[in-house]
Amino acid sequence: MNVTKSGYRVFSANSSAACTELAKQITERLGVELGKSVVYQESNRETRVDVKESVRGQTIFIIQTIPRDVNTAIMELLVMAYALKTSCAKNIIGVIPYFPYSKQCKMRKRGSIVCKLLASMLAKAGLTHIITMDLHQKEIQGFFSFPVDNLRASPFLLQYIQEEIPDYRNAIIVAKSPSAAKRAQSYAERLRLGLAVIHGEAQCAESDMADGRHSPPCVRNTSGHPGLELPYSSLNEVMMAKEKPPITVVGDVGGRIAIIIDDIIDDVEDFIAAADILKERGAYKIYIMATHGLLSADAPRLIEESAIDEVVVTNTVPHEVQKLQCPKIKTVDVSMILAEAIRRIHNGESMAYLFRNITVDD
């Protein structure tokens, strides 16, 4: 395809070479060249973007992978989008495989819903559409004032299980907490395997975090109007800390391959604790499958020293350094579905084909 006649351009908004690898893979599949631009940091850490070719009247796709320096990557995306907007681009579509701040999509005490703020910033900068993958909560799509295509990595991870895990028919899909059970169930149903759920005090699910609704002090206040007071017993019941049952595994994992399913693997302590309890219950191999492998801090070393046999993630986030530190980390390429999404959006074709065999809970 001739890039000058295709009617669209593909740019990378990353300033680091490691983060442009996915953009190169996508453009190779599309048969186009990566747009000419320069993204760099000034000596005072300000972000500067120079677009080196005309984009007037064209549809622009900005591919932005998110490295460890999340805030710099966000600023690069915003500045590039605004530069393209002021250069009279017709449409500006962000391809953000891992959407940052997606875990901050609920109110916590006196905090804020940062994911909503980021959605507003992207719209203000000039984006008109977003392609992403496996949002932490599907409801995040409602934060945006423009269309969002939330692709799924599950077909690629399912294919890996079927082709790369020996004797996968003897496996069992595991949710490391009750909140992850729906996603795990969608994998179990498509693979026709059993399901196990880890439940108990070692887990710290997001739903257990205080959200501010139970913020009044425990001391009973008798100075107010009597009709406005909560009964003392009810107040105590509301303010009582959640007591979790002892850790347990719901489901038989003895003599099986345990495959833990999640969307993000960042801090790995919970996964290691889950692997330990599964080993105690008789599982002889432990695999972890996740879409986004952030693998922050000492995650590679901890994985290498743990009972986990293999961690499989996609290349939505660059993690080549972590793979060098831990050979247990494997990568599944999802550039094909991102390239196909770009092609279909540009040609005005239906996206339904990319969601075939995808369950409601995936």
Cα dihedral value 219, 224, 228, 234, nearest 10: 20
Count of domains observed in the chain: 2
Residue 352 burial (CB < 10 Å; 0-12/13-18/19+)? Answer: exposed
Residue 106: per-residue pLDDT: 87
Residues 23, 105 share a domain: yes
In a domain, 269, yes or no: yes
Residue 196, helix vs strand vs coil: strand
Confidence band of 239 (pLDDT split at 50, 70, 90)? very low
Percent of all residues in the chain with a pLDDT value above 70, rounded to a whole number? 86
Q: CA 239 to CA 258: how far, in whole Å?
A: 37
Q: Answer yes or no: is pLDDT of 219 > 60.
A: no
Residues 318, 274 share a domain: yes
The pLDDT mean for the chain works out to 88
Q: CA 187 to CA 135: how far, in whole Å?
A: 17
Distances, alpha carbon 300 to alpha carbons 64, 227, 289, 327, in Å: 24, 57, 15, 9
Residue 135: per-residue pLDDT: 95
Residues 165, 145 share a domain: no
What residues contact 225, with CB distance under 8 A and at least 6 apart?
Answer: none
In a domain, 43, yes or no: yes
pLDDT, tens digit, for every residue of 291-342? Answer: 999 998 899 999 999 999 999 999 999 998 999 999 999 999 999 999 999 9
Q: Answer yes or no: is pLDDT of 277 > 60.
A: yes
Q: Answer yes or no: is pLDDT of 238 > 60.
A: no
Q: CA 179 to CA 168: how far, in whole Å?
A: 24
Q: What is the CATH number of the domain that holds 271?
A: 3.40.50.2020
Residues 144, 63 share a domain: yes
Residues 174, 69 share a domain: no
Beta bridge partners of 260: 174, 288
Residue 107: per-residue pLDDT: 87
Confidence band of 4 (pLDDT split at 50, 70, 90)? very low
Q: Answer yes or no: is pLDDT of 360 > 70.
A: yes
In a domain, 342, yes or no: no
Average pLDDT over residues 216-226: 52
Q: Answer yes or no: is pLDDT of 71 > 90.
A: yes
Q: Answer yes or no: is pLDDT of 203 > 60.
A: no
Residue 166: per-residue pLDDT: 92
Residue 108: per-residue pLDDT: 83
Q: Answer yes or no: is pLDDT of 199 > 90.
A: no
pLDDT, tens digit, for every residue of 74-102? Answer: 999 999 999 999 999 999 999 999 999 99
Q: Which of 10-24, 156-170, 254-268 has the lowest mean pLDDT?
A: 10-24
Residue 271: per-residue pLDDT: 94
Diameter over CA atoms, the chain? 77
In a domain, 358, yes or no: no
Residue 3: per-residue pLDDT: 45
Q: CA 218 to CA 220: how far, in whole Å?
A: 6
Q: CA 227 to CA 229: how far, in whole Å?
A: 6
Q: CA 229 to CA 201: how far, in whole Å?
A: 33
What are the DSSP E strand ranges found in the chain? 8-12, 37-41, 47-51, 59-63, 91-96, 129-133, 148-151, 171-175, 194-199, 248-250, 257-265, 285-293, 310-314, 329-332
44 lies in which domain range? 9-151
Q: CA 324 to CA 59: how far, in whole Å?
A: 38
Q: Answer yes or no: is pLDDT of 2 > 70.
A: no
The b/e string for 6-15 (b: 16+ C-beta within 10 A; e otherwise) is bebbbbbbbb
Q: What is the SS3 assignment for 238-296?
A: HHCCCCCCCCEEECCCCCCEEEEEEEEECCCHHHHHHHHHHHHCCCCEEEEEEEEECCC
What is the Cα 192 distance to its own chain's centre? 25
CA angle 3, 319, 106 (to 5 degrees): 95
In a domain, 339, yes or no: no
Gap between the terminal Cα atoms of the chain: 34
In a domain, 212, yes or no: no
Average pLDDT over residues 122-132: 97
pLDDT, tens digit, for every residue of 328-338? Answer: 999 999 999 99
